């Protein structure tokens, strides 16, 4: 049995610079990863099987395809046939929530299969981008500057162990619809240098179109930003999950209690950056 964690991804800042002729968008982003996320497990079996467990399994019930299976098939096409496998996805992160859940799951599957087949992990990025724009970053699994569609990655240091609180107000938003709502205005590049300083000076250009689809996101960002000890509160990716970074664990834990008291129906996750 091989077990791989699929850590949650957040965008500390996300600048959309241009629409590309291929239909994608040119972005600049600061990726960061949490210590917690989904879990992918593979084990030998007499026939291929796929099961989804965990609190967010019902959100994927009846789904025609899954990025975990797409990753399996892409790996087999690139590196040769696989033996029958029982694959389990323990879905602990909300679906369509801007924290890379599906992309992280696909990346975890690629890593697990590379361990199974003794494939050099350095060969995996070649097939990752075809699975999704965030999959290369999730495959890297560490803080990084992302350019292009997000696949041009430069690893960053200085963010490890920062306490973080994720909050999702219980809505799923379509990434395609959020990007389609971007107003097309290039508001400038990300700052260089210290990643936290750059994040504080940056923005998420997808937050306004996401708010137009799900106005409750504004309430989540506001609730987080009003907590003591917050250094940065913002929506992640295309939403609807929002995050707050804290100066220490005690401030994060107090904020988690306050959010739970104010909105007990919202999902939240306490973690730290890696």
How much is the mean pLDDT over the chain?
97
Over residues 7-53, the pLDDT tens digits come to 999 999 999 999 999 999 999 999 999 999 999 999 999 999 999 99
Using pLDDT thresholds of 50, 70 and 90, give the confidence band for residue 64.
Answer: low
Is 134 one of the annotated active-site residues of the chain?
yes
- Catalytic pick among 36, 38, 90, 134: 134
Is 9 one of the annotated active-site residues of the chain?
yes
What is the pLDDT at residue 77?
Answer: 98
Dist CA 98 CA 174 (whole Å): 9
Q: Burial letters for 42-81: b for 16+ Cβ neighbours within 10 Å, e otherwise?
A: beeeeeeeeebebebeebbeeeeebbbbbbbebbeeebee
Position 62 pLDDT exceeds 80: no
Q: What is the pTM of this model?
A: 0.95
Position 215 pLDDT exceeds 90: yes
Position 63 pLDDT exceeds 90: no
| Beta-strand relationship, 85-90 and 152-155 | unpaired
pLDDT average, residue stretch 114-143: 97
Question: Above pLDDT 90, what percent of the chain?
Answer: 97
Dist CA 181 CA 175 (whole Å): 10
Position 263 pLDDT exceeds 70: yes
- Catalytic pick among 9, 36, 90, 91: 9
The structural domains of the chain, ordered by start, are 2-155 (3.30.230.10), 163-272 (3.30.70.890)
Which residues does residue 225 pair with via DSSP β-bridges, in sequence order? Answer: none
Name the 3-class secondary structure at 40: strand
- Output phi, psi for 143, to 5 deg: -55, 140
């Amino acid at each position: 049995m091989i077990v791989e964690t699929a850590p949650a991804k957040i965008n500390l800042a996300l600048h959309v610079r241009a629409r590309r002729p291929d239909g994608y968008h040119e972005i600049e982003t600061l990726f960061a990863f949490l210590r917690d996320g989904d879990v992918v497990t593979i084990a030998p079996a007499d026939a291929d099987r796929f099961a989804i467990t965990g609190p967010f399994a019902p959100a994927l019930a009846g789904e025609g395809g899954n990025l975990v299976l797409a990753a399996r098939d892409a790996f087999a096409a690139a590196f040769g046939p696989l033996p029958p496998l029982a694959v389990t996805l323990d879905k602990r992160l909300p679906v369509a929530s801007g924290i890379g859940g599906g992309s992280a799951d696909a990346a975890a599957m690629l890593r697990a299969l590379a361990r199974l087949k003794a494939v050099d992990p350095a060969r995996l990025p070649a097939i990752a981008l075809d699975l999704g724009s965030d999959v290369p970053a999730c495959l890297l699994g560490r803080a990084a500057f992302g350019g292009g569609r997000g696949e041009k990655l430069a690893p960053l240091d200085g963010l490890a162990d920062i306490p973080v609180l994720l909050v999702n107000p219980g809505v799923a938003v379509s990434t395609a619809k959020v990007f389609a709502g971007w107003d097309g205005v290039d508001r400038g590049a990300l700052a260089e240098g210290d990643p936290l300083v750059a994040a504080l000076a940056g923005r998420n250009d997808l937050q306004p179109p996401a708010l137009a689809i799900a106005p409750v996101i504004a309430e989540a960002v506001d609730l987080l930003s009003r907590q003591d000890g917050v250094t940065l509160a913002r929506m992640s990716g295309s939403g609807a999950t929002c995050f707050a970074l804290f100066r220490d664990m005690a401030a994060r834990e107090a904020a988690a209690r306050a959010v739970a008291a104010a909105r007990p129906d919202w999902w939240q996750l306490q973690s730290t950056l890696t």
